[in-house]
Amino acid sequence: MAMRRNLLLQESQLLERFDRIRVWQQGDRRAVHKPLLVLLMLGRLARGESRARFDEIEDDLRRLLDQFGPASAAASRHNPFWHLRTDGLWALDGPSSIIGRPPAATPTLTEARTLTGSFAPDVLAALLKNSALIAQIAQRIVAGHFPESLQQDVLSAVGLEGTEAGADAASDRARRDPSFRPRVLLAYEYRCCVCRHDLRLDGQVVGLEAAHIRWVQAKGPDIEPNGLALCSLHHKLFDLGVFTVLPGQYMLVVSQHVTGSDEVRARLMGYHGAGIVLPQSRTSYPAAEFLAWHQGEVFKKPQREV
């Protein structure tokens, strides 16, 4: 019995191993590649597929990085397929001339297409033994990397929709200062700083949210200069990097990646190049350091010409 216990990866050890990729690497920079690859593979595993050649999942991974990563993240889409090995999560199969290389010798995109990846044998055994862990780990990863407005979208995109943003999302909420929302909404006089939406139902404002400019997941503080009052639509578009606000000028600029019909023009493009509605007090103005983080880590560069 003792031997059997040693062979099985304990649940806590498994979670700890996945938690290694929750860390935000390189200081302020978002590290989205590994989390998105792991989520993609967890979604496949939930559907009974435990291995994948890189070229089988390449298009899906590119779409995920384009949608939920910073601009140009998809160009290095093959990197996590190789580097995930060093976290003890991942195993690779393929030509020994590539597999045998030292960890720093990242293969080219073409070489990566000859490789097959899967979770490491002990990780895979633990996940297959208790499939509820797949959803639990997926929730921890999205809660650690993405703002609440995007967490369900990310889970849906990897086929894990219906996975409730569970205990971890709740604990993230708990760590936030509950006064952040009312303070930010008051600062902006209860209206969206983009479209001035201020619909009220019996006096209560509806569909208006306090967005963190620098995400909570990236240690953005709960202070007014890190907040924007945004309607639900503009909040989601801001978190997706569809538009950003230029530091110092408070000018809204829209990504060149966005297209749409007249309706979209009215809801978004019409505000391109215009100033946002500023808070009533100068001390609440969005701070340049947080806007610069959003521009660098979230906004889908390049911006449209003004």
Please give the residue ranges that form the binding site for Zn ion (CB under 5 A): 192, 194-195, 197, 231, 234
Nearer to Zn ion, 271 or 299 (CB): 271
Nearer to Zn ion, 218 or 229 (CB): 229
CB of 226 to Zn ion, least distance (A): 19
Three-state SS for 281? coil
* 302 cis-preceded (ω within 30 degrees of 0): yes
What is the rounded distance in angstroms from the CA atom of residue 139 to the CA atom of residue 146? 10
What are the φ and ψ backbone dihedral angles of 303, each rounded to 5 degrees? Answer: -80, 155
CB of 199 to Zn ion, least distance (A): 10
What is the rounded distance in angstroms from the CA atom of residue 174 to the CA atom of residue 168? 10
Nearer to Zn ion, 88 or 273 (CB): 273
CB of 234 to Zn ion, least distance (A): 4
Amino acid 53 reads R
CB of 229 to Zn ion, least distance (A): 9
CB of 232 to Zn ion, least distance (A): 8
> Residue 55: how many CA atoms within 13 Å on its side-chain side?
9
CB of 287 to Zn ion, least distance (A): 21
Say how far residue 129 (Cα) sits from the centre of its chain.
28
- 188 and 277 Cβ atoms separated by less than 8 Å: yes
Nearer to Zn ion, 82 or 243 (CB): 243
Tell me the Cα Rg of the chain: 21
From residue 299, alpha-carbon distances to 55, 67, 242, 281, 290 in Å are: 28, 11, 6, 26, 12
- 244 and 294 Cβ atoms separated by less than 8 Å: yes
Nearer to Zn ion, 135 or 195 (CB): 195
CB of 289 to Zn ion, least distance (A): 24
Nearer to Zn ion, 21 or 230 (CB): 230
What is the rounded distance in angstroms from the CA atom of residue 131 to the CA atom of residue 46? 7
Nearer to Zn ion, 31 or 195 (CB): 195
